Amino acid sequence: MNFTDRVIVLLKTDFRESDRMVCVYSLEHGRMALRMPGVNKHSSKLKAIGEPFAKSCARIYIRRNAAIGCITGGKIENVHPGLRADYNKTQLAAYFCELFYRLTPDHSPNEEKFALLEDSLLQLETAPINPGMAPAFLLRLMHLSGYGLKDMPVLNIPPAFWDMMHTAPLGSLSFLDKEDLPNLNKARHVCKRFLNNYLQHPIYTINQLDLTAPIDIEEAAKETALEPAAVLAA
């Protein structure tokens, strides 16, 4: 079976002498493992397609009943050069991609998830990093995966703040109020608790969710047990 699909590379690893294995999230086929034969040769023209965070329209071949397909060609759409030039942005992009690798099922396409990853990488490339990007990204992925609490604020986080973390563009998140930092740390705690409960092995980029200041979240969590806060009427 031959087809084309828009893909974003989540991770890569060298395979044999000159091949490469990549895991991608695609628009029409979801998460897939693909081989790129001969891509590590000096003469290969497909190296850029197989780099993490790269977005392309790829030509893919999968044999009948095969578990892994091959990328046989494609056209680059965006390699995010501005993102790669900044170490901290590269680390945060790796966190986005690792979450997709660990929390999305094989061959289960979701246009909203693809748009989330696509837009988040673009926002990360074009806007300064802010401390809400990492937890906000995971909260949105949780919501799209059926685990979210978008309409149910927890740990007494104000509904307006909770809504901002789920809907505002990642590059425009701002934390100016004196209560924003405690609320942000509570959101990080929700994210860490979710990952600890649903993953058998830790996320390698978990430090993206480290707290920015000391706060007694554990006591608050015991009291509320992550029950939704009452949403105030307009």
Cα separation, 151 vs 173, whole angstroms: 19
Burial class from Cβ neighbours inside 10 Å (0-12, 13-18, 19+) for residue 211 reads: middle
Cα separation, 69 vs 51, whole angstroms: 17
- Average pLDDT for residues 117-138, to the nearest whole number? 95
Strands (E), 109-200: none
Is the CB of residue 5 less than 8 Å from the CB of residue 28? yes
Architecture category of domain 84-224 in CATH = Up-down Bundle (1.20)
Domain boundaries, the chain: 2-82, 84-224
Burial class from Cβ neighbours inside 10 Å (0-12, 13-18, 19+) for residue 50 reads: buried
84-224 matches 2-82 in CATH topology: no
- Per DSSP bridges, beta strands 19-26 and 30-36 are antiparallel
Pick the CATH number of 2-82 from 3.90.400.10, 3.40.50.300, 3.90.320.10, 2.40.50.140: 2.40.50.140
- Average pLDDT for residues 35-54, to the nearest whole number? 87
Q: Give the tens place of pLDDT for each residue, 77-91.
A: 999 999 999 999 999
Is the CB of residue 149 less than 8 Å from the CB of residue 161? no
Q: Give the tens place of pLDDT for each residue, 144-171.
A: 998 878 888 888 999 999 999 999 999 9
pLDDT band at 220; cut points 50, 70, 90: very low
Is the CB of residue 82 less than 8 Å from the CB of residue 47? no
